[in-house]
Amino acid sequence: MAKKEEIISMVDTFAEFKDLKNIDRTTMVSVLEESFRNVIAKMFGTDENYNIIINPDKGDFEIWRNREVVSDEDFEDSNLQISLSEAKKIDADYEVGEEVSDEVFFQNFGRRAILNLRQTLASKIMELQKDTLYNKYKDMIGQIASGEVYQTWKKEMLILDDEGNELLLPKTEQIPADFYRKGEIVRAVIARVENKNNNPKIILSRTSPLFLQRLFELEVPEINDGLILIKKIARIPGERAKVAVESFDDRIDPVGACVGVKGSRIHGIVRELRNENIDVINYTANISLFIQRALSPAKISSIRVNEEEKKAEVFLKPEEVSLAIGKGGMNIKLASMLTEYTIDVYRDIEESEEEDIYLDEFSDEIDVWVIDALKSIGCATAKAVLSTPREVLIEKADLEEDTVDEVMNILKAEFED
């Protein structure tokens, strides 16, 4: 038998590859046999009369060639035929028409054949590696993966899993506060797997709402057991998130279970997401109540819902408006994302404030887009605007200083008159 060292350790090399890439025995034998057959077919025009026996455990192989015995006069092809006189040298009982099997040694085919085998095997190994990688991660989309940071670039980060496979975490899929050094472990959800030109790319994400959902499933046993369901998630990565949960067991408080005693369960998630502030609320099919809960911590006075247009007008006491809107409009934005409704907030006018006037009454003097901008931050009346600090109107309504001053002068003049 031809030993592995006689063909420059090719079987051994393949065995090492198998150990690293978790390729099963059947696939390994099949790929190695196909590589031998490809080279033989190139040399002799066919491989059909060859039997190749691979023994990966011992690291050796056998190649047997089958040839038909023909008369010396009919002998033409030394690869497919053997002359009767040559056959009788092997065994005197051979007759024309019988088949002779003899072992051939690959190293005797010459250096070029060995080089061709190396190249063919390397090519097939590469294809197999790519197929294995693609098929493995294609079935893991939506699951959490972890790996070690190998290299960071401006637009993405290269991560190696525990098998040395390359995973990519684009900058756009990183939390703004993310900062990793080489060798650190990163956790992220597998967002998608691309395979353009048979070149698989595994794309990770830490900004996806699905990543937050998977973290909850890891930290909250009731979610993993199916007793609590995450209905909806809205995220502004690294800043704030709202999670609506529902319990299938009346004895379980879904919000309390997700938060844990003294926040024990949610703290780990918050740390993983770079101190992202997470609000957990009870889901309800009652859209009015759901919007109220989504606007927490603000307490609303009343609400008008237009289900056809998916819009809601929410009225709040003046001191509650800023809570509903949140810093930089973040709270109302997340509430809209969570409920999938456009939410407009308005200051509630007390009965004792009948002298107040809605901004719409000033449409002849103030541009409609300016009125809409003021209404979007809860200033629906003249007194609501006048009672709001000038700098707040400029920043939150995103208006020019001159525009704000002009509006305030118009409103002041109305009450002075």
User: For residue 114, what pLDDT is reported?
Assistant: 78
Note whether 226 and 220 are within 8 A (CB). no
- C-alpha to C-alpha distance for 236 and 216, rounded to whole angstroms: 17
Exposed, middle or buried by CB within 10 Å (0-12, 13-18, 19+), for 129? Answer: middle
169 CB contacts (<8 Å, ≥6 apart)?
Answer: 156, 157, 159, 186, 188, 203, 204, 205, 206
Q: Do the two domains 4-135 and 351-416 of this chain adopt the same fold?
A: no
CATH placement of domain 351-416: 1.10.150.20
148-207 falls under which CATH superfamily?
Answer: Nucleic acid-binding proteins (2.40.50.140)
Q: How far apart are the first and last CA of the chain?
A: 111
pLDDT in tens, 113-149: 878 787 887 788 788 888 888 999 999 999 999 999 9
User: For residue 350, what pLDDT is reported?
Assistant: 56
The residues facing 345 across adjacent strands are: 314
346 CB contacts (<8 Å, ≥6 apart)?
Answer: 313, 314, 315, 316, 375, 378, 380
Whether the bond between 297 and the residue before it is cis, its omega within 30 degrees of 0, is: yes
The CATH topology of domain 4-135 is N Utilization Substance Protein A; Chain:P; domain 4 (3.30.1480)
User: For residue 21, what pLDDT is reported?
Assistant: 53
- C-alpha to C-alpha distance for 296 and 335, rounded to whole angstroms: 9
User: Phi and psi of 238, rounded to 5°?
Assistant: 80, -10
User: Phi and psi of 138, rounded to 5°?
Assistant: -60, -35
Residue type, 18: K
> By C-alpha distance, which of 293, 299, 259, 254 is closest to 278?
259
Note whether 62 and 1 are within 8 A (CB). yes
Exposed, middle or buried by CB within 10 Å (0-12, 13-18, 19+), for 13? Answer: middle
Exposed, middle or buried by CB within 10 Å (0-12, 13-18, 19+), for 44? Answer: middle
Exposed, middle or buried by CB within 10 Å (0-12, 13-18, 19+), for 281? Answer: buried
User: For residue 8, what pLDDT is reported?
Assistant: 44
> By C-alpha distance, which of 241, 185, 246, 183 is closest to 212?
241
User: For residue 309, what pLDDT is reported?
Assistant: 93
Q: Average pLDDT for consecutive 10-residue bins of the chain (417 residues)?
A: 46 51 72 85 89 78 91 91 91 91 82 80 81 90 96 95 93 95 96 91 96 96 94 96 94 94 93 95 94 93 92 88 88 95 82 67 89 84 84 84 91 78
Residue type, 252: I
Q: For the chain, give every domain's residue range.
A: 4-135, 148-207, 351-416
